[in-house]
Each structure stands twice: as structure tokens, then as C-alpha cells.
Amino acid sequence: MSLIGKKAPDFKAPAVVNGEITEFDSTSLRGSWTVLFFYPLDFTFVCPTEILAFSDAAEDFAKVGAKIVGASVDSVYTHLAWINTPREKGGLGPINIPLVADLGKTIAKDYDVLDENAGVAFRGVFIIDPEGTVQSAIINNLAVGRNVQEVLRTLKAFQYVTSHEGEVCPANWDEGADTMKATPEGVAEFLASHLK
């Protein structure tokens, strides 16, 4: 079931935010662009590279008005232990993003990223607009991580088309590049000038 164009499922769950355990309410994200990403498990292999990449890019996302939230089926205590473990020992160390605990696996189910056989979440990433509507969903199988810069590029593209009615972003669009009008004439003009 695709969530594209639908309201993102709301949730309340424990999370680690700025090194502290707290209750996280997804409705607090309304009014901002949000990137919600799921990963399989704490203390594993590809996962720390993704979490640290998103954490390191948190300021870049904040500059364009977006918040980042990570989630897995681990407990909040496992999240905290991983954050409190130094990177050179396989931990995360301090991070700049919240990690939500989905121990009951309901959030992963609601976002349709739960791998029922493995009991963990696939690598799903959702871009949610300020009204709470899902604009993008990309789901990878367990062995391959996401490109955080591609998520940022996609976010900027959705922000652009949201604020420029009638325009669309072509393949490989990046901030500052030409867009096209969403008309037969617009695509012909774009193709004539860009794809010779």
C-alpha cells in the first residue's frame, strides 16, 4: 500500500532526543518538512553509516526547514546504549537527530516497511510535507543503505514544486537548475533546450 499523497500515519513512542529518553509525538512535526527514515536494528552494520550520515546532514536539512527522525524496532534503551557507545567501539556517539523506538513494530507496519520474516524494518525513507502528506517514499532491502544527499535533493525538489505551481522538476534536477512547465509545450521547450 503506497502512502504517496496520503496523510502520514501519526505515532507517539519513546525516543532518544539529544541523549535523553523522552516521549516523541509525530504531530509535533506538523508545519515543517520532515524526513522520517527507518532502519533495521541498532548495533548492526549498514545502519550506523546511515544514521551518522543523516545526523551529520541535519544542519543542511534544517537550513531548508526540514527535520529528520530515525526509527527502528529496537527499544529506547538500546538506542541510548548505542548512542552512549563511542564510534571507535562500534557505537554512534552523540547524534543530532531523534531515534524513535518502535518496539511493538506498529509504526513500521503503519508505514508498510516491516519485514515480517525478519521482524525488522526495511530501509524506508519518507518525505512528509508541512501538512503531513507523504510526498516521497523510497524503500530499500536490508543490505543497501540510502544516499542522504539524494534525499536532500528530492526534498528540495518537492519544496520547489510546492511553491511554484505548474512547474515540475525533470530527471537529475538539482537546486538552481531549470525546471519545466507541466504542459506539452513546456516539456517540448525543455527538451529542445536541454537534451540535444
CB 142 within 8 A of CB 122: yes
CA atoms of 46 and 163, how far apart (whole Å): 35
Respond yes or no: is residue 47 known to be catalytic. yes
CA pair distance 73, 121, nearest whole angstrom: 7
Which of 8, 15, 36, 47 is catalytic? The answer is: 47
Q: How far, in Å, CA of 92 to CA of 108, rounded?
A: 22
Angstrom distance (rounded) from CA 143 to CA 40: 10
Q: What is the dihedral of CA 67, 9, 12, 145, to 10 degrees?
A: -50
Active site residues: 47
